[in-house]
Structure 1
């Protein structure tokens, strides 16, 4: 061991940031700023980092944090680290600011799920050693000594001591290659790793020296004398597990290597803001020198503002300039593309122009169809598209866009099949954090680039006076369009590295979200046929029933009133009829919300029930039976919805214009609307629906033995649950008891309380609580899963689906109890709902691949949550049903079987 000033140069430094944060928290004073925010631990780590950088000036540096307490080691040994107390609140609150500052410093920051920081460091150090890159690991963790070798050295920055192979042997009494054996024998009370009781460092080193290693100790256990020998022999069965738990994993799939950890230019303004907030004069004093520490022209990959880029936008009006840009596009490894059109409706939009960017700050707009009086001559649209077609259809020419599904659909109407879709910034942002912001370009540019874009309203006007893009003068239109392409490229360069740093999230983006883009575009383009005459007849019937309900409501109220006026309804309910006040509005007035109406109706009050039915029928009439016929595209004779990937926080798709996912299925009125969805002559509708998928996911995630057994046996899960919690045989369960069990099964995964269950079932709260208690007594694995999820969510501030999609929970540590409880309910449900969303997306990808490859007479026309709807030629029904079932049931490997119910018919209702 020797002092840092004598150390050689290390091109790569890997920092165990989580370890240092804990050590700093316990070793340093509990400092706070004038706002009362804890700062002691993070200031300790930042000072350590600053010292490390100044001393070594490495070429590559990685700052590695643990992603959460649960890792693959918990799967090996559920009690791993089980005795560790929860992280103190005043330490947890320092993590996010610390990580934000590290990013602003331009230092690569890694937080890899399912493994510990040790494993990330071990993987990078091993890769670096294989490449001949001397590496310094900054840590105080003795476990890291197993990584030491000719190319790998440890440094404890808090004590300024360094460990090379000789230093490890001197300190522990065993060489680096025997550290795992040494740790396995001793065990680790902090991590709850079992060892040999009574075996301390000296005994472990002695045994290893005498018998050559752990295997030798095990083989010679009978020769060890005394009480410690008895303990050794008693522990033999668990020593292989201890070795596995203490061995650092050095083959983690990180999606990057040591040379990818190149620090970038620090964001001085952001750092100044943080350092002022921390009230650290020492750190503020370092800012003048910091910019020179990491000379780089690459923008720092930080969430905080980045320096503005000088822009140069071309307006392409001549063939020569167009050919110049064609050459640039053909030479680019990746280029951004954006279309400008006359409408948001892809089935009606006319192409007005195209914009491109190949380098941040440099972009071009090619106007093709601006038709306002005095518009300058423009290049011929057909000729330009013919010239671009080979490039845009080349799958080897990588393209990036913002909501590329729209551009793909527009170009398809002009005979161009856009291929080579490599990235979509809307989806990059959505997968990175679905709840952090809206995912439109203007919002993303402000959040991630601190750039205020030109908004469409700025150049087109607002409201009734808004003009279409072909009427906008070319100069402002050109700047707006070129900026779109430029900002898209810059957003990609900011967002993609962040996704790559979290491989499971990058996998969700690359294997689920991006492949879905052309599939959704095809679904939208195909559309669905409707029977307009049937809907018109239903509209007339609904109109008569709505009018009758109005008369009935007037009779109940004793006078006419506006059924759509909360003020008039409130006056009648509470002033005239004396109905009980359930809740109040924020301004203190009695509420007439839908929830209040449902409560009052459930208590037997007639008028609230009439108003609820009136609202339901009115909405169905205005949204579907009246509107759907008006939305039929005259060119296709079909209705074309729009699917949205980046709206629902959990990963579910949504649809609009029209929304096909909200048509009721349990009411006769909703079923009548579904009967108006019909196939073309000679074809049939086929609906394929996952059976109880979220409950099956709950069984998989919780590992509850009874739940797994019920699904494995193919039992009716609601009847099985009723039998379990009531102590009955399944054939003794009544319909009412099954209904109650169904409410419990679905209610609990949505975080329903006993109070909510009591309201839904119309029973006393005490009886509902007894149901819940019995449920958890029979399904303890579900209870344990929920509790583990709450704890993990509070630690990580996010939860994950089975495939790695994250839902961030901003309110999980909120001081308001209601908001915190809401976040906990979301934490329990989101992994199931999100996993279900991922599974059906994976199924869509598999089914579409079959359709595109083999070209069967099958069309995927709708997705409604857990259901896929197809149009299938009558002769292909049997073969298509088998192939669709196989694709959907194999979309994920769970501990219970995925089951798909398939139906066919002359309309959607018959098929479901």
Structure 2
């Protein structure tokens, strides 16, 4: 079990009660009771010292009734009144917790358990690991891979396996287990004489509480009679036992950062309760040399020592330190965001947290101090930066690699990237930039670039910013990168599959993508210009036709005017409405209206599509050519798509539409250098092959093993025909089913896509699953596993977390289930092509053939290969790509060669 937790939650009321009964009845010289109070405070201190959480919450029960009392008037009616000497210790404990700077939560009308459950569940959805300190067995129902329990009195830690071992049932059956047994302390009705062994036995035989209730007539003996007599009250027992996880709390887990302690108040309280041990912790903070320990409650910020390197002596000293370091963080500051045009303004380094330096090299504002000469310094740094044995760390280090390459330095020894560590740990997190990560994981607000550079048209370049502001900003980048690494790396080490994925795929891919980006791709500006003019003519024609269909001129880009014409003037049906109640003109609405035969929506959709092609590609691509290389240079992003797929921007090469002729024509403008041709290597039906591998369905495996047309084979299975008698329409329907099921498509969606009745589509689906039972079993298995673990994995261990997989909202839950089915296929395909890129790049770097890997688009790699090397190179590329993974079915790569990308595809 991991010893690293982001959030620690304490069941303070529960511990105070248990400490009162378990510990000696101590009191101070005034006669005030202190035993339970001191016990809980020592427990809090120990927890903080041991786990050093970034977020912490101390949760108390609120006085008064809760919603459970409304459900059942006798809830907790048997509990004796709280002893007076215990009640006296509650307020002092709360005051001391506040003085410690720890977030204190007391939520009326619910129990502390519900607050703990809600916060832990929210934290899990945010990718955080939570430890709940409690002795309450009810909380075992909250345990997951990311939520654990600790009982500090017995020092026992419970993860999912621990729950099964202790109670005999998994966490998701704890509510059923408790409901069957009832709880005499809380006065929750259960089944008389049903103890733990009987509850475990019944749940093992019948699955869950509903299953036990459904088979009550089959259970003999007195306990069976008791069960049958208790059937009417078991649903209530389940309600009372179930911890709420969806309270509307004002505080999120990320809001529970500890504040600075009030030392004066703590001293007053510790003196009053006469605890020498607690007073000693204050002395240790006041005099650090008096103790090697630190006060965990203080959560002190790391003391920073940021230096500015302006002299040869300072540079020599830092260079020596960097050469001796096991790992150091490096970051570049530049003149531009475009890596092809950016020039280095300075570099920052960090070796230990809080100890960083900024090396300015090209600040040129009036009055700027004399700086070391950039060329000389970069020459001196080159051996260190190019040494593969000197381990480097960065945040989005690919950008720095590209910038350094522009100055003739080939960065090697890339060991870690904090952005990729965050991404591998939780790809579903919305952002992985430094500012977001620092605030989320370190509780640190980074210096914002706009605060030192301004914004808008008046924003300064980095070389124009005064060193007094630039140096702390730059040094902080390296320092925070190092601190993030120290937070993330232990988490990765706790999950070997994620660590392996990070070290064997994501980190090695950095230099591969860097080389691809800097190589770029050549485009034919004249061809794009011709296409742009033709698109403009077609767009103008569509405008005129739209005016004719509407009966007047209007702005085709105005939803308001379109809505007025559609629904007021033409009387088209209103299919949906905006949140404000107005008839919607969203693209999905236009598509449905066009499908129903309405002319104007069809014309507007075509107009929008062609206008986007023109503005995004035919007009824009020529302007994006680098003036020196004459090529366009995209940026590939590893930490964006949740499934692990790469994305690209400036330009976005992943989204060039190819379903229509105009989109395919854009690919004709992607051309090779003279003497070269473009080669496109595309994995054939890779996601279906992965489905066959994961499901193990025998018919699907056999179809791929035989090299059959899998869509034709599916159609043959569904219609009971020999493959040679399958019609093109039947094959098209089977293809829609094959790919639709991967994406979790329903019979309704299939009916809409094929233009058939829902009953007919459902019959197709039912027949498909009857013929491919392994696929259906896999889908059921993955839904169950996802519901239990709240994540799914690819073949190579990449995890996709699914916070909505058990959501009470059916639409959100079903969406998560569709993602659960698709993600292992799409994510595994992403992992496979990344492995292929690394392998192919290694061959190119090692053998130096006249081959350039220049683009990656979904399941396809595009190369620029010298004419004389085409045959040998394509053979090697196919072999390397097909061996990127060992599946139960063969990986097949289709390769095309042409004078442009469209011709090669």
Could you tell me the TM-score, scaled by structure 1's length? 0.71
Report the CA distance shift for 1:705/1:299 in structure 2 as closer, same or farther (over 3 A): farther
* Residue matched to 2:706: 713
Aligned equivalents of 2:151, 2:502: Cα separation in 1: 22
Question: Which of 680, 690, 695 is the matching residue for 2:683?
Answer: 690
Correspondence list, 1:121-136, <5 A: none
Report the CA distance shift for 1:320/1:839 in structure 2 as closer, same or farther (over 3 A): same
Deviation per residue, 1:2-45 (Å, 9 max, x gap): xx99xxxxxxxx9xxxxxxxxxxxxx9999985646839999xx
Counterpart secondary structure, 2:583: coil
Deviation per residue, 1:299-326 (Å, 9 max, x gap): 99xxx99642111100111111111211
Aligned equivalents of 2:514, 2:607: Cα separation in 1: 36
Is 2:617 the partner of 1:631? no
Report the CA distance shift for 1:434/1:306 in structure 2 as closer, same or farther (over 3 A): farther
Is 2:500 the partner of 1:507? yes
Question: Which of 718, 726, 737 is the matching residue for 2:719?
Answer: 726
Aligned equivalents of 1:481, 1:292: Cα separation in 2: 36
Deviation per residue, 1:615-660 (Å, 9 max, x gap): 1100110011001111111101111000000000000000000001
Aligned equivalents of 1:626, 1:568: Cα separation in 2: 27
Aligned equivalents of 1:807, 1:287: Cα separation in 2: 49
Aligned equivalents of 1:779, 1:847: Cα separation in 2: 35
Is 2:403 the partner of 1:410? yes
Is 2:416 the partner of 1:423? yes
* Residue matched to 1:162: none
Counterpart secondary structure, 2:632: coil
Deviation at 1:666, TM superposition (A): 2.4
Deviation at 1:818, TM superposition (A): 1.1
Question: Which of 897, 901, 909 is the matching residue for 2:890?
Answer: 897
Question: Which of 449, 472, 487 is the matching residue for 1:456?
Answer: 449
* Residue matched to 2:821: 828
Report the CA distance shift for 1:286/1:680 in structure 2 as closer, same or farther (over 3 A): farther
Counterpart secondary structure, 2:825: helix
Counterpart secondary structure, 2:852: strand
Deviation per residue, 1:852-898 (Å, 9 max, x gap): 00000000000000000000011111111111111111111111111
Question: Which of 39, 44, 51 is the matching residue for 2:113?
Answer: 39
Is 2:653 the partner of 1:660? yes
Deviation per residue, 1:488-542 (Å, 9 max, x gap): 0000000011011000011110000000000000000000001100000000000
Report the CA distance shift for 1:514/1:306 in structure 2 as closer, same or farther (over 3 A): farther
* Residue matched to 1:873: 866
Counterpart secondary structure, 1:430: helix
* Residue matched to 1:782: 775
Aligned equivalents of 2:812, 2:383: Cα separation in 1: 53
Aligned equivalents of 1:407, 1:306: Cα separation in 2: 33
C-alpha contact (below 8 Å) 1:337/1:400 kept by paired residues: yes
Correspondence list, 1:377-392, <5 A: 377-392=370-385
Is 2:362 the partner of 1:369? yes
Unaligned runs of 5+ in 2: 1-21, 24-49, 51-74, 80-105, 121-128, 170-200, 206-255, 262-273, 285-290
Unaligned runs of 5+ in 1: 6-13, 15-27, 47-61, 66-87, 120-137, 143-187, 193-266, 273-284
Deviation at 1:64, TM superposition (A): 12
Deviation at 1:405, TM superposition (A): 0.1
* Residue matched to 1:312: 305
Aligned equivalents of 2:520, 2:311: Cα separation in 1: 39
Is 2:750 the partner of 1:757? yes
C-alpha contact (below 8 Å) 1:335/1:356 kept by paired residues: yes
Deviation per residue, 1:412-452 (Å, 9 max, x gap): 11111111100000000000001124000000001110100
Counterpart secondary structure, 1:757: helix
* Residue matched to 1:910: 903
Could you tell me the TM-score, scaled by structure 2's length? 0.72
Q: Kindly report the root-mean-square deviation, in angstroms, between the aligned alpha carbons of the 2 structures.
A: 3.8
Counterpart secondary structure, 2:808: coil
Deviation at 1:466, TM superposition (A): 1.2
Aligned equivalents of 2:334, 2:746: Cα separation in 1: 50
Report the CA distance shift for 1:288/1:425 in structure 2 as closer, same or farther (over 3 A): farther
Report the CA distance shift for 1:326/1:708 in structure 2 as closer, same or farther (over 3 A): same
Aligned equivalents of 2:151, 2:591: Cα separation in 1: 50
Aligned equivalents of 2:276, 2:806: Cα separation in 1: 33
Counterpart secondary structure, 2:631: coil
C-alpha contact (below 8 Å) 2:130/2:146 kept by paired residues: no
Number of equivalences: 697
Deviation at 1:327, TM superposition (A): 1.7
Report the CA distance shift for 1:686/1:38 in structure 2 as closer, same or farther (over 3 A): farther
Aligned equivalents of 1:286, 1:723: Cα separation in 2: 81
Report the CA distance shift for 1:41/1:557 in structure 2 as closer, same or farther (over 3 A): closer
Is 2:776 the partner of 1:796? no
Is 2:513 the partner of 1:520? yes
